[in-house]
Structure 1
Amino acid sequence: MSDILIGRQQILDSKLNLYAYEILFRGHDFDLKDQEGAAQATNQVITDTLLEIGLNDIVGTSKAFINFTTQNLLEKTPLHLPKDRIVIEVLEDVVVNQDLIDTLKEFSRLGYTIALDDFVLTPDWVPLLTFADIVKLDVMAMPLADTLTLIEQLKPYQVKLLAEKVESQAEYLALKKAGCELFQGFFFSKPNIVAGKRLDINQAAAIKLLGLINDPEVDFNQLSTTISQDIGLSFKLLHYINSAFFALPNKIKSIKHAVTYLGLNEVKRWINILTLTSLANKTNALFRHILTRSRMCELLAQQYHEDPAHLFLIGMMSCLDSLMDMPIAELLAQLPLTEDVERAILHHEGIAGEILAYVISYERWELSSQRLSRIHPENIGAIYIQSINWTDDVLADINC
């Protein structure tokens, strides 16, 4: 692949289930502020996505929202893409004239889904509302009251409203009540902390198990006994070891045999994943986000000669507050984690903290704040795709 960085951001429905992804991209050989450069960038992303990486590897079976410039649209670039897999996202800075309107109408007649990005209600854009399918509202671009007014003005049109850059549960609930059906932003991965909240019995047991398996002194006998006492964990472990990841030379005779075969680090990672999924009633979208972050941390650790299992744990524990809706420091205090793990998560200290900060920046597409200079663009792009594919495989196994 070229030096274009590929990213994605989840788009969720009103129940916070995955609806689609927006494809994000940036490169070093073009300027996205330049119209010709941006058109070239979009064409390159299409080539990279479809030919070199594969659309399924980036978005799975979901649709992909792709930004198109005026030049892309007038050149009818979207016609090279499958209409059932993409959403044509019309950027807010396109020049709306009759040629553009006629082109978009043609896309609509052919069955393509059309979204209007960062929409502002002006006379020039009103004609597009007669055939657009989705209108995206940037909730950070105006006060919430103004956004709610705009929602009311758009109700006569047959469009789905997508609120993007939603950063809090309060915003999500207000926008959902007002009529928005789709949502984009990091509100779903932020804790909705309630003062005085306490862990219930099941959650406390899960936290205890996390503490046990991440204790530096834990041994195979302790792990085997813990897993054997839970029929659900036992079944999941045997199912996991029977997957395509492993080529079993012999039949498994016991849980201890399975734990010994997999190895301590692999079993720790597996139990971390299963235990966290039991901690709270959260959406699949959040777990996908957590696993991708953890895997990216793990793979980047190899580039910096750090312990991959250590970085996987840090990536996963950094999301604990989103799962539990409790302050992260309070939750970490209940686990026998080493001091460097807490420093990496709470303050992004040390090389592990830098790796975590780098991954979080990539998730948020805040590429200017990345600090790992030894990682080349093509490497981080490959690591990101590997992490996505690994997450898909793990979730398929967990949801069996």
Structure 2
Amino acid sequence: MSTPADNANSNEVYVGRQPIFDQSLNVYGYELLFRSGHTTTANVIDGNHATSQVIINTFLEIGLEHISNHRYTFINLTRDFLLGDIPLPLQSEKIVLEVLEDVEVDDKLIAAIKQLSAQGFTIALDDFVLNEKNRALLPLADIIKIDLMVLDTETLKRHVTIFKKLDVQLLAEKIETEEEYEMCKELGFDYYQGYYFCKPHVVSGKQLPANRLALLEMIAKLQSPDCDMHELEQIISRDVAISYKLLRIINSSYYSMQSTVDSIKKALLILGLKPLKSWVTVIGLSMVDDKPPELITISLTRAKMCERLAPALGINEDAAFTVGLFSMLDVLLDKSLADLVTQLPLDDEVIKALLAREGKLGELLNLVTQYEEGQWQEIDQYTIDKALIRQGYLDALEWSGSIIAEIAH
């Protein structure tokens, strides 16, 4: 999956990621989304140089563990990288090298890919459509990525039939609808990628299941300005799982408490009302058990990134965090966002941001989601310093990863 070219300063380094799910909807890995680095003249050498800088920044300065969270990392490579004309400063463990669909296939390329495979790299064929020229790549592939927007249904099925006879795994990318996802499951794909997994599956005319209704009621109470310390303590204490996870977070390295916090009352006294409300909401959302856990990671990353960038736009950080956190409430609860926000005592500015992306909060949420999706040309329109945006994203990734690690136990 290639990223759009841009005409911005090639010194700017944007790094995003898109999750790749296995058949159980657990995250198998992340595809890195980065600025292609092409100048207005589309000079290929300049593009390779910029991509090289992105890889160096990602792996040497930022740190792979912060980007991939110890899962597989998928990286698009041009022919020059594959041939070794530009050094590839990567270790092979859990790295998937994607051979782009427009790379010229010849004996030199095949020999280079064989060498990379022998070094331990996983080889993926990106946006692969079988033809006589690229057929020679099939014995070298560990993963074949098929773009659903390129093939019609019958051609897709023919490709899957051919590839199923080989010792490869199949990845369906650009899944946009539930119908596409169900079709790919039926065809036997091993991995799935696309924005469908971050979209709501809203069942109209039906009430929320009891467990989700109870969760929504709890969130509504927590968001109420009338919720006081005593009521919050009661809400938390009634649920053993929430209490346990909350105490794990407070006693984690994130807070670095000098002494153990062993009671909800003590946690309230130390952290205060607002932070505890946020934590209980986050933990509650993480306990929706029929959704990919990655959705909580995305929600937390959005929330923290919104919070980090809020001062640059003169926005209240608490409101920014709430907007980011609740931006996927419809996906998690399978109910329209318009219906959900009417049941929560949210500020008008927060509601306008969530429903219509209006106001400064709406602008901030747009920026964060566009960065998340790798829409780099859209990012260029904002006046916020690009280095601040990138650092906000990376800080949010690191923070959400540490929190998920505590909640998961």
Q: What code does the residue aligned with 1:150 have?
A: H
Q: Structure 1 351/169 Cα, relative in aligned 2: closer, same or farther at 3 Å? A: same
* Of 201, 218, 229, the match for 2:238: 229
Conservation of the 8 A alpha-carbon contact between 1:4 and 1:26: yes
Check whether the contact 2:94–2:122 (CA below 8 A) recurs between aligned residues: no
Aligned residue runs from structure 1 range 386-397, under 5 A:
386-397=395-406
SS of corresponding position for 1:114: strand
Give the stretch that moved more between structures: 21-30 or 359-368.
21-30
Indicate the residue corresponding to 2:134 in structure 1: 125
The answer for the alignment partner of 1:163 in structure 2 is 172
Range that drifts further, 355-364 or 251-260: 251-260
Query: Do the aligned partners of 1:35 and 1:69 also contact (CA within 8 Å) in 2?
Result: no
Distance 2:395 2:165 in 1: 44
Structure 2: unaligned runs, 5 residues or longer = 1-9
Paired position in structure 1 for 2:5: none
Does 1:60 pair with 2:72? Answer: no
Counterpart in 1 of 2:408? 399
Using the alignment, how far apart are the partners of 1:80 and 1:234 within structure 2?
45
2:208 alignment partner in structure 1: 199
Secondary structure of the residue aligned to 2:154 is helix
Please tell me whether the aligned partners of residues 2 and 378 of structure 1 are also in contact (alpha carbons under 8 angstroms): no
Count of aligned pairs between the two proteins: 400
**Matched residue, 1:276:** 285
**Superposition deviation, residue 185 in structure 1:** 0.7
Which of 316, 335, 347 is matched with 1:326 structurally?
335
Cα distance in 2 for residues equivalent to 1:27 and 1:174: 32
The amino acid that maps onto 1:75 is G
Distance 1:32 1:101, change over 3 A: farther
Identify the residue that residue 151 of structure 2 maps to in structure 1.
142
Q: Displacement of 1:233 after TM fit?
A: 2.6
- Residues 7 and 274 of structure 1, relative CA distance in 2, 3 Å threshold: same
- Per the alignment, residue 262 of structure 1 pairs with 271
Partner of 2:368: 359
Listed one character per residue, the Cα deviations across residues 262-321 of structure 1 (whole Å, up to 9, x for unaligned) are 022211210110111234521212211111111111111132231212111111111011
1:220-266 Cα distance to aligned partner (Å, 9 max, x none): 22212222233333323322222223344566575333212102221
Cα deviations by residue, 1:122-172 (Å, 9 ceiling, x for unpaired): 101001101211111111123333322322232332221111111112111
Q: Distance in 1 between matches of 2:266 and 2:86?
A: 56
Distance 1:377 1:29, change over 3 A: farther
- Which whole-Å deviations, capped at 9, do the CAs of 1:42-87 have from their partners, x for residues lacking one? 2112211121111111112112111111111112657531111311
Identify which range, 122-131 or 309-318, moves more after superposition: 309-318
Q: Tell me how far 1:219 sits from its aligned partner.
A: 2.0
Task: Name the amino acid aligned to 1:292.
Answer: T
**Cα separation, 1, equivalents of 2:32 and 2:281:** 30
Deviation at 1:195, TM superposition (A): 2.7
1:347 matches 2:353: no
Q: Identify which range, 86-95 or 303-312, moves more after superposition.
A: 303-312
Residue of structure 1 in register with 2:79 after alignment: 70
1:49 aligns with 2:58: yes
- Secondary structure (helix, strand or coil) at the match of 1:331 reads helix
Distance 1:247 1:101, change over 3 A: closer
Q: Deviation at 1:372?
A: 6.3
Q: Distance in 2 between matches of 1:238 and 1:286?
A: 23
CA distance in 2, matches of 1:111, 1:76: 19
Q: CA deviation at 1:373?
A: 2.3
1:309 pairs with 2:318: yes
TM-score (norm 1): 0.94
Alpha-carbon deviations, 1:301-344, whole Å to 9, x = none? 13223121211111111101111112111122221222222111
Residue 22 of structure 2, aligned match among 10, 13, 19: 13
1:291 partnered with 2:280: no
**Alignment partner of 1:91 out of 100, 115, 130:** 100
Q: Secondary structure at the match of 2:29?
A: strand
Letter in 1 for 2:349: D
Counterpart code for 1:136: K
Residue 22 (str. 1) matches residue 31 (str. 2) = yes
Instruction: Tell me how far apart the structure 2 counterparts of residues 194 and 168 of structure 1 sit (CA, whole Å).
Output: 14
* 2:388 alignment partner in structure 1: 379
Q: Structure 1 residues 366, 80: closer, same or farther in 2, change over 3 A?
A: closer
Q: Is the 8 A contact 2:81 2:88 kept in 1?
A: no
Alignment gaps of 5+ in structure 1? none
User: What is the SS of the residue equivalent to 1:16?
Assistant: coil
Task: State whether structure 2 residue 220 is matched by structure 1 residue 211.
Answer: yes
Do the aligned partners of 1:206 and 1:278 also contact (CA within 8 Å) in 2? no
